[in-house]
Structure 1
Amino acid sequence: MKKAEYELIKLSLRQIESQNFNVVFTPKQEVENNLIIKQQNSLLFDQIKRIRGCDTKRVKEMILVEAKRNKKQENTLEQLIHEGFSYNGLRYLRFGKSASQSKDGITAFVEETIFEELFRMSQLDLRVTDCVVSKYETQRCLIFSTCTVIDRPLPYIVVVGEYKKTIPNQRIKYVVEQRKEYTDKETGELKTYLHRGIEEGFRDIPLSPFDGCGCHSHEFSESISRYLGLDYIAIGAQIRLPFFKGYSVEVPFKEYYQSIGVDRITDIFGKEHHIKDIDCIWNVSMFKGYDLFRREYGCDGWTKYLEVLDKYEIKLGISKYSKQVKDLNLKSKMNFQYLQCLNLWNPKLLECYHDKTLQSFDPLDPSHQGPIIKLAAYSTGLYEKIIKGDKFYTYKFLGIGSTDDLNACESPDSYENGECNSRYVEAILINDIMLRDPAIKQYLYRKLKKAISEMKLGKLYSDGFYHTVVGDMIGYLEFAAGLDPKGCLHAKEFYCETIPKGAALSFRSPLVCPSEVNDITITENDLTKKWFPHFKDQDIVMLNLYDLSAPQQGGMDEDGDAVFLCHDKLLVSAKIHKTIIIDMDDKITVNPKPYNQKSILEYEINSRDNRIGEITNTATSILNRYTENAEVKKLYDDFVSLLRIYQGKEIDYLKTGVRWQMSSQLRNHMKQLPYFLLYNYPEKLQAYKQMLQKNKSAPECEEKAQLNGYRSPSPLNELCDYICRWEKGILWDRSVTDTRSLILDQGLELTDQKIIRKIKHGIHDFSAEWKRLLSEKAHRHEKEQSSEEIMESLLCKYQVWFSQIVPDPYLLANYVISVSYSNLSINKYLAWKLYGDVILQNLKSNSPPHFGFKILETPISKEKSQEYLGRFYELQEEAKENEL
């Protein structure tokens, strides 16, 4: 099913302030100023559609306002939150923001005439007086989540209680807070500060093994899969309703309960339900509105909740669903957060570092290469095949399966690179001579350069891929039936049917501490074989009831969180066995406050940024340093453990209202990043190179400037050096074929010099404006408006401009194509994006009968098979007539 896309306006606080809160933009100015953004459907958009009485692509009833944390703008922000603003004559009032919008400094404003009804709906008719504002606002605004709205009656849902247990006597690390004294250097006054340190010991750890997950019947899976337009039955789905979120997985609970003699269960409100009637058994941890409805309606809370959903015609939303393994690669890219938390240090490099003979260390020398370079060999080998022009690997890299099935849709980065790959792919499928077309060759070059740059930052392929986590579903059903949960898995066991049985590692982002890397065993047993054979080909993993996997891995929930399951032997053997750090106060929240304009404003001012990047960069700076000093090692180890708790607090900040400020001792580590990480920040890398050159040319007596990066012998610095040197040795084939005889209508005269000059001028202006807009976007670190949206606005502008040069659209298209291809240096993207259909039409007309092909998955043992990202394929070519 094609997801519904809507357009709406996004303004900056400065734009509103500059027009004195009375903003006016014409449709043309909206395009020119890139104010129009696209968003997919949500329960909120569905409600706006209901109130409006019809569906429209443009959502004029809501405007997003971006205002990053800025002390100088707080007064302006306060006025905006209190009074709202007008846009083209309509008044807009502050409505709320999702968790992700909050991190990006974005707030949604709704048009005044629908505000009251929409806000009442978002509260489900429950007026709130006192609450933890950040938590309540996040829950109320769950309706912002992108999802597919299932336009069918709600299933029969039973909400059961949350199972909580204690894992006794676990050896962990934890944070200890102490008040310490210091003397103020300026005043001499004795003052105190809060010191956070790390201690290790045995503690009893509370655990909620089913936090955020539940189960449903096969019939429910069939129903949503049909509505989603899938060609398979998705057994897992992330659920969205007002004040309700979580992940539900298919379990044959009716058959299971029949086998143990259970015919009814009791919900959290004390009401019994016959098993035969139930579609979904969902956990109260999924029902964020439980306390509100219990307090207001007592035992009738769920009934009243359903009545309010019916009143507002609210449907079930599905925000994501399980994927078939056949549609996934069996190898996925690691990242530097994962790799730096493994023991991949190279003894040879360390030896040279100690002996101060680093100049003799050659990362390209096979005898010098450590574990991380051995891991990189697969990725570099793959890209080398594509660089050398291997047709099979090039096809796979571009996402091409066969000439019969165009499965290479627009990739998320296609606009970031300034390209449009689906039309390029279709051109190759029509005539593979187009592999040497200048535009397509340049696209492939850029795509490969990006992949190579990402390798410098740890993006290396390894065995494994991401899975969505759920709890032990046998234990879940036992608890729901009032039994003592035993489950079907033991401690350190995970169950999934998609990677080999045996030792594996489980990673979850963001990851800052080696203790978060979870070494587990993928297993199966008689119970899993009997009740979960449907897990066989989908990306879901089931955890056990008996260990600390969830709190260990960043305090993850089971409401849709995913883990990277890796069974690469090199990486499994590199696990660092460090005592895990647990936040013993992870459920603590700030005290409730009156829910009024004052507290909402305080929430708005304090929730306009995201410090996760700062925390992970600090941890990266520490983890990549090298020392043999035992005390410093211990200090670094404790710092990283502490940062793991900082990270958890920051992630949960919007739910708890609790945020820790990093100490200056920790923040100082951000002043110097490991060399490899500078490649993630081009401006910092450039500054590093300039300072390095300045220090080299400075007189001996002059003090050297402190660099913003350091080159320790860490695995990731080693990898970066290796990739940089490997890249320099690549012999790129830059030869191209003149394809104008294929992509132009040969019957047209395209010689009018006046038209040619105007088009060439337009293409040049387009290229300059596109680069400028991207540069401004990067400088402002904008996220909400994608490069695709900026490009769409720009394309509209130049399409109108070109149409004024040549009235005949077909003749104009051929002129633009001809001018674009008259010189290798001219930007060809505009021709492909605006007139790609004409290029493809001409290509079909001008191409002779050619050989088609299919890429078929084969058994590993087949003689001609070739491996790509964990699977084996055979390229089969065959004669194929063009369809004219």
Structure 2
Amino acid sequence: MSKNQKRNQHKIKLFQFHEITESSGQLLAPEATQRTITVSDSMYLHHLKQVVAEIDQIADFTDAIFMLKADNIAEDDPAQFNLFERMLCEGIYYQGERYIRSIKSPAMGRTQRTEFIRKTLYDSLYNRITLGKYPNLTNINKWEAALGVSRSTAIPIPFIPRIVVIPDYKKDEIIEDVWKIEECGLDSEAQNLVQAEKRKQSAYFKAKKELKPSAEKLKQLKSVPVKYIEAKGELKHVPDQSIYKTFNGWDKEGRRVELDQIALPVRSAEYSGKLYPCYFIEQTEEIPVIPISQESIGLKRVEYPKYKNKDVQFFDGQGLMSFEFAEIIQQHLELKHPVNAVQGRLPYIKGNFIRFDIHKWFKEHHITEMIDIFNQPKPLIDEEGRPIDLIITKSCFKAWHRYIEGQEKPECIFENIAEYEKLLTHHHHTHFWIANYAKPSYQINPYTPLTYQYIHALNLTLDDLYKLASPILDVLKRILHGKNIMLHRI
């Protein structure tokens, strides 16, 4: 990718849940904050900039939004949940302006981040992202996920492709051996230990926040000794935590500071100009290790031979892009190699689109038109002379949200693809967005990290996991023995 095609990044204000206060019935964010979070270019930010320019003309569009981090809500405190609900429903005031909850991506939900936007801008931006569609009855989780497509970090391509949507290819039944996770009998003693430890952890984190000594108090304490370590070929001094340790230092030892000792540190340690409280071992307690078993978690793995999988979908979120459209993307990204696949984004559209010579295939098979999912014929070249650029499956088109009483499945919020294209133009969508693209083999690392789900899906044994971990374990052993790992390939 050329330098001018790198994703631009922007810093917006970040507030923590516990920083929000109330005055005269209004929820208030602190007037001044130095804390920020980085967000990258996306369809959402692109349209926010345009809306700001039209309505508020703020000098910096990033002042129109801020992020709220709510991962420190106490699970056992209903009052905090009620307060968070008020923030979502009533909004938060910042420097005299009311901000309300904005569009949220699934990733933001997983990390417990919520963006708030100036109330004066919300309707116009929401109208652009939804293309003016508001189903009366829908599945709110799927609806928000569909709108969250607009928040994917992506690069704009100034071209709107001609799209044909077709049904997903499904098979009625596939029979195979599978594992399923099911509930099993609980071990009451183990469960009591688990619940007791959860309560203790909750109290511990709450006490750390409320009882942690102030910077003024830490300045009055003796500092821990320093030691010298080599980093990047240079000697640097760091606190010596062999006797007195910070919270994290004791956590690495499998211990934590006792609740009644948190406010009573005996030393302080300085890291990057900031002081941290330190404690000695008599002020700590061992963190209990609770054995994990089927009975302690209440779940077991059951094998089902010859299990019948119904309605199996083979190409979820997949589509084809023409050679011609792939070349447009390649030219705009200034790439020297063909783009064999892209992760593309448009309103309600999200998928992985594979480069394929569509028109050559059509010509060889004497095909002149397609029937799309709306049961409408789509010629290979339309009346305006536009060829088909993208063939996408229904699972790429996140537009089935209109629920009707008495119907089992939702209907599409668009009458047909022509209405969708018309609304794209009406709501100022002029770009196709690239979240990622396939690189040639010589640029690809042959190894890739896997998520934890593969441990279950691949039915790995403990011995398998040891073997998978052996390369990094070898590196760690060499580090511990002072060997040069730069000469060692894994």
Q: 2:89 aligns with which of 57, 76, 82?
A: 82
Cα offset for 1:98? Answer: 0.8
Partner of residue 204, structure 1:
308
Give the aligned CA root-mean-square deviation in angstroms.
3.7
Identity %: 20
Cα offset for 1:219? Answer: 1.1
Partner of residue 68, structure 2:
65
Cα offset for 1:157? Answer: 0.8
* Residues 149-188 of structure 1 mapped to structure 2, 5 A cutoff: 149-152=156-159, 154-175=160-181
- Are 1:23 and 2:29 counterparts? yes
Cα offset for 1:254? Answer: 1.1
SS of residue in 1 equivalent to 2:64: strand
Q: 1:304 aligns with which of 389, 397, 419?
A: 419
1:174/1:36 CA distance change after superposition, 3 Å: closer
Contact 1:6 1:57 in 2 (8 A): no
Q: Distance in 1 between matches of 2:298 and 2:476?
A: 44
Deviations 1:638-669 (A, max 9, x none): xxxxxxxxxxxxxxxxxxxxxxxxxxxxxxxx
TM (normalized to structure 1)? 0.37
Contact 1:7 1:57 in 2 (8 A): no
SS of residue in 2 equivalent to 1:304: helix
Q: Distance in 1 between matches of 2:351 and 2:28?
A: 41
- Higher CA-based Rg: 1
Deviations 1:24-73 (A, max 9, x none): 434xxx3xx3x233221111111112212379765111111110153332
* Higher relative contact order, structure no. (Cα contacts within 8 Å, ≥ 6 residues apart): 2
1:204/1:732 CA distance change after superposition, 3 Å: closer
Contact 1:17 1:76 in 2 (8 A): no
Q: Distance in 2 between matches of 1:512 and 1:43?
A: 31
* Residues 786-801 of structure 1 mapped to structure 2, 5 A cutoff: none
Partner of residue 44, structure 2:
44
Q: 1:217 aligns with which of 322, 329, 343?
A: 322
Contact 2:157 2:329 in 1 (8 A): yes
Q: 2:478 aligns with which of 723, 726, 735?
A: 726
Cα offset for 1:163? Answer: 1.0
Contact 2:64 2:118 in 1 (8 A): yes
How many residues in Structure 1 have an aligned counterpart in Structure 2?
A: 358
* Residues 421-436 of structure 1 mapped to structure 2, 5 A cutoff: none
Partner of residue 395, structure 2:
285
Which has a greater percent of strand? Answer: 2
Cα offset for 1:110? Answer: 0.9
Cα offset for 1:232? Answer: 2.6
Q: 1:139 aligns with which of 133, 136, 146?
A: 146
Deviations 1:191-246 (A, max 9, x none): xx987651322123232111101011111011112222323321211111122100
Partner of residue 439, structure 2:
323
Q: Distance in 1 between matches of 2:161 and 2:330?
A: 14
Cα offset for 1:148? Answer: 1.0
Q: Distance in 1 between matches of 2:180 and 2:97?
A: 53
> Amino acid of the residue matched to residue 37 of structure 2?
I
Contact 2:12 2:65 in 1 (8 A): yes
Contact 1:166 1:204 in 2 (8 A): no
Deviations 1:250-299 (A, max 9, x none): 1011111221222211110111122242111111110001454984767x
> Amino acid of the residue matched to residue 23 of structure 1?
A
> Amino acid of the residue matched to residue 44 of structure 2?
L
1:41/1:201 CA distance change after superposition, 3 Å: same
| Range moving further from structure 2, 306-315 or 104-113 | 306-315
SS of residue in 1 equivalent to 2:66: strand
Contact 1:21 1:86 in 2 (8 A): yes
Cα offset for 1:306? Answer: 1.8
SS of residue in 2 equivalent to 1:120: helix
Deviations 1:88-110 (A, max 9, x none): 22110112311111111101111
> Amino acid of the residue matched to residue 103 of structure 1?
R
* Residues 695-706 of structure 1 mapped to structure 2, 5 A cutoff: none
Partner of residue 16, structure 2:
12
SS of residue in 2 equivalent to 1:239: strand
Partner of residue 336, structure 2:
231
Q: Distance in 2 between matches of 1:137 and 1:297?
A: 14
Partner of residue 661, structure 1:
none
Partner of residue 99, structure 2:
92
1:239/1:178 CA distance change after superposition, 3 Å: same
* Residues 747-758 of structure 1 mapped to structure 2, 5 A cutoff: none
Q: 1:110 aligns with which of 102, 114, 117?
A: 117
* Residues 737-816 of structure 1 mapped to structure 2, 5 A cutoff: none
SS of residue in 2 equivalent to 1:121: helix
